[in-house]
Amino acid sequence: MGRYIARRLLQAIPMLFLLSIALFLLVNLAPGGPLAGHGRTRRPNPEKAEQLKRQFGLDQPLAVQYVVWLVGNDWMNVDADGDGIKESKGTRRGILRGDFGFSFKTRKPVIEEVGERLGNTVYLMTVTLIIVAIIAIPVGIISAIKQYSFFDISVTTLSFMGQAIPEFWLGMILILVFYVWLKNPITGESLLPPGGMKSMQPGFDLWDRIQHLILPVTMGAVGWVAWYSRFLRSGMLDIIHQDYIRTARAKGLSERLVMSRHALKNALIPLVTILALDIPYIFAGSIYVELMFSWPGMGRLYYQAATGRDYPVLMAILIFASMFTVIANLLADIAYGYLDPRIRYE
């Protein structure tokens, strides 16, 4: 297994390299550019545009821009002041040495921008995923065991609704109900806050943090719960009609044991795989949830970078997401081999 993991990781290096070229081209060749469309100065002054191009490195050919992004320019002379003479060494070190450049918007190092947001997104998405697992797994199992019961039909209906409801609209409704309509009967304040990670108050308040999590987690979880529960129900239904389940019953095992030891174990295999493949979402976040509930996370950063053509930030997020996807795929494969004895990685 160790050799398999090492081989997969080595294979990932050229894949990520090719991916980085493709992403760089896609990002840079997309229509439009970073010099226009910001705020009120939609059409920048020509001299300013020229200066910005030089500062952003956009005055170089695309191939040079990629090389600088990858390995930096501190080994080559650059024309930093626009006088046409390449008189000084550049200051970029390239992503291979941990320098993702600076944000065109804030001029802060990209790694700092990402670092400020990543933790917030992991926090929100982890809680969401745990809640999803806690709800979806039992719901899926019971739906399958009690197929066509009132519970199953209700859950099926709700699942379809959960998958069909536009996430953004759901967020608006949650705010309307829990922030505008429903009030705390004692204090008269809104039942739940409309957004943010915490209230402005000194110290750590667990209940305050939980209150701020309820609505965004609900918005993010509804679609996932619906999808996971349907998936598990379907897997369970496939399995409980297999011959070995009938054999187990014929041996005289209790229904509980049949379900837990023989059916669920096998039904969970594909779910675990899917769960592993969803790990990148934990780092990438959800744009809609973060926008709606003012959550300062990666999804919002990505949205801002994409709409503002902040290439360095965009590239950093895409590269991180690619890396997490590669790792998640590997984890899924390992988990699959671990759970299913028929699969051997040699």
Q: Which is nearer to another protein, 71 or 269 (CB)?
A: 269
Question: What is the closest distance, in whole angstroms, from the C-beta atom of residue 116 to another protein in the complex?
Answer: 5
Q: Which is nearer to another protein, 8 or 209 (CB)?
A: 209
Question: What is the closest distance, in whole angstroms, from the C-beta atom of residue 115 to another protein in the complex?
Answer: 6
CA distance 17 to 8: 15
Question: What is the closest distance, in whole angstroms, from the C-beta atom of residue 232 to another protein in the complex?
Answer: 12
Question: What is the closest distance, in whole angstroms, from the C-beta atom of residue 178 to another protein in the complex?
Answer: 12
One-letter amino acid of 247: T
Question: What is the closest distance, in whole angstroms, from the C-beta atom of residue 174 to another protein in the complex?
Answer: 11
Cβ 143 vs Cβ 225: under 8 Å:
no
Q: Which is nearer to another protein, 158 or 306 (CB)?
A: 306
Q: Which is nearer to another protein, 3 or 256 (CB)?
A: 256
Q: Which is nearer to another protein, 39 or 252 (CB)?
A: 39
